Amino acid sequence: MAITRDVFQFVLIVSITSLLVSCGVLQDKRSLSPHAVKLSDSVYVKKVLYSQFNDWRGVRYQYGGVSRLGIDCSGFVYVTFKTKLGIDLPRTTAMQVKLGEEISQSELRPGDLIFFRTTFLSGHVGIFVEKNKFLHVSEKKGVTLSSLNDSYWKSNYWKSVRI
């Protein structure tokens, strides 16, 4: 039984298309961060964030710091995501605010970043934990948990981002 040229071309096109589609699907799966699953697991992320809080509680604020000797807000976000979640984020608030997808405050889930406008030239960042609580570094208290319902944070809220 002879295969006509049209049948051969059809089979070839279907085969190549199938190959390309399956390669594309495999490539998409590989390009997903293995941590994307972890960030979507709210129970896991909450546990990690509370663990980080317990490890760092009270470490003093130091502009530009990234150690237990002193740390600033964006440094704490950077260290937390890198060491606890295996995700590399930029080091500064100015760069972190450009990441991810902007979400409304009502959509917050553990691990989302919360940004505040605290002065004309600078911002502040924290990590949402749960029930209006967020983890951050305060100039007065160091690493601490605060409430989004606090009048200071409520009045300076800027936006929230999901990584």
SS3 category, 30: helix
Task: Tell me which of 39, 72, 136, 148 is the catalytic residue.
Answer: 136
Task: Tell me which of 48, 49, 73, 114 is the catalytic residue.
Answer: 73
Task: Tell me which of 97, 112, 124, 133 is the catalytic residue.
Answer: 124
Give CA–CA dist 110/45, Å, rounded.
6
Q: Closest Cα partner for 137 from 123, 126, 122, 152?
A: 126
Q: Are 107 and 153 in contact (CB under 8 A)?
A: no
The answer to whether residue 35 is catalytic is no
Q: Are 118 and 156 in contact (CB under 8 A)?
A: yes
Q: Which residues are catalytic?
A: 73, 124, 136
